[in-house]
């Protein structure tokens, strides 16, 4: 079947559309996806901004809305675009990629990414330490901690929420500390504390109601949840932190090395 629009003659085979007499063998929806991607790369569609509606894009490119919908699906699956329920489709920001193996605080990590970073302080107060926090920091029942909650954004898009807990025995060192700009690790090191290592777990999850509001995502949207206990020399816990990241905007990379294992004469030749 062949039909024409105001610009191109289009060949339809089954449910797949191609430009007739074109040397480009990509499907029409893939060609449109690449045109939208080009618009993003050249600044026509900016990071964080809402994409024009399917109807507007269909008129712009002279194709049907089904083709536009398929093109958008390609770009959503490639993390170039993302959807917000009942709000439309938006241009995704650049994904933040960090390498496992380096011990850095949240703001330290992002300062190496060469992105515009915004930090909003949600909480900065002394609070009673719940059982889990007491266990992580090795403090007694009834103790209090300094809790710092920060909403981290890049390119004016919410990226994550960081909750940090410090024993009050060192909280006084942070008097005058600006959580929007200062890195906690660096400040402690200026006072002579030698940060040595950390134990960290990473898992998939979904945000709590308040977190979803702050991150401007649906409660069903997957997130990355990090929990980390940082230790000084001598294995003394000094900071416990929990961080919730938008999974479509943040990832960790890890380099794996294979160690040669000496052949065991008891293994068969079919062993892997």
Which range among 98-107, 151-160, 186-195 shows the weakest confidence by mean pLDDT? 98-107
What are the respective helix, strand and coil percentages of the chain, to the nearest 5? 25, 35, 40
Helices 28-41 and 65-77: crossing angle in degrees, nearest 10, is: 60
Q: How far apart are CA 93 and CA 46, in angstroms?
A: 9
pLDDT in tens, 25-63: 578 889 999 999 888 888 888 877 889 999 999 998 889
How confident is the model at residue 2, as a pLDDT?
Answer: 36
User: Do the beta carbons of residue 91 and residue 83 sit within 8 Å?
Assistant: no
pLDDT in tens, 139-152: 999 999 999 999 99
User: Do the beta carbons of residue 28 and residue 37 sit within 8 Å?
Assistant: no
pLDDT in tens, 69-81: 999 999 988 878 8
DSSP reduced 3-state for 131: helix
Instruction: Identify any residues that bridge with 252 across adjacent strands, giving them in sequence order.
Output: 98
pLDDT in tens, 79-103: 788 887 778 888 877 667 666 778 8
C-alpha 174: how far from its chain's center? 28
More confident residue, 260 or 262: 260
How confident is the model at residue 11, as a pLDDT?
Answer: 45
Rounding to the nearest 10 degrees, give the CA dihedral for residues 109, 112, 115, 117. 40
pLDDT in tens, 116-132: 889 999 999 999 999 99
Element (H, E) at 210: helix 209-215
- Sign of the Cα pseudo-torsion (85, 86, 87, 89, in order): positive
How confident is the model at residue 270, as a pLDDT?
Answer: 57
Residue with tokens 């030698």: 194
pTM (two decimals): 0.69
Q: How far apart are CA 212 and CA 216, in angstroms?
A: 6
């Amino acid at each position: 079947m062949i039909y024409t629009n105001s610009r191109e003659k289009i060949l339809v085979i089954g449910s797949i559309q191609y430009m007739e007499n074109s040397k480009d063998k990509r499907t029409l929806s893939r060609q449109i996806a690449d045109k939208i991607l080009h618009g993003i790369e050249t600044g026509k569609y900016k990071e964080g901004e809402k994409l024009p509606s399917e109807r507007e894009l269909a008129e712009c490119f002279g194709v049907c809305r089904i083709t536009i919908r398929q093109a958008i699906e390609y770009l959503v699956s490639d993390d170039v675009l993302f959807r917000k329920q009942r709000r439309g489709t938006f241009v995704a920001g650049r994904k933040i990629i960090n390498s496992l193996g380096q011990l850095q605080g949240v703001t330290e990590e992002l300062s190496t990414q060469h992105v515009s970073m915004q930090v909003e302080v949600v909480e900065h107060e002394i609070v009673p330490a719940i059982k889990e926090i007491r266990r992580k920091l090795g403090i007694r029942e009834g103790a209090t901690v300094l809790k710092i909650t920060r909403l981290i954004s890049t390119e004016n898009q919410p990226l994550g929420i960081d909750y940090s807990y410090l024993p009050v025995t060192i909280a006084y060192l942070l008097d005058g500390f600006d959580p929007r700009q200062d890195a906690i690790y660096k400040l402690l090191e200026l006072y002579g504390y030698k940060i040595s290592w950390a134990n960290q777990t990473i898992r998939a999850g979904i945000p709590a109601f308040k977190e979803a509001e702050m991150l401007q995502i649906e409660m069903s949207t997957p997130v990355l949840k990090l929990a980390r206990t940082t230790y000084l020399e001598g294995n003394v816990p000094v900071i416990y932190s929990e961080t919730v990241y938008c999974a479509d905007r943040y990832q960790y990379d890890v380099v794996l090395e294979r160690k040669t294992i000496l052949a065991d004469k008891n293994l068969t030749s079919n062993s892997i």
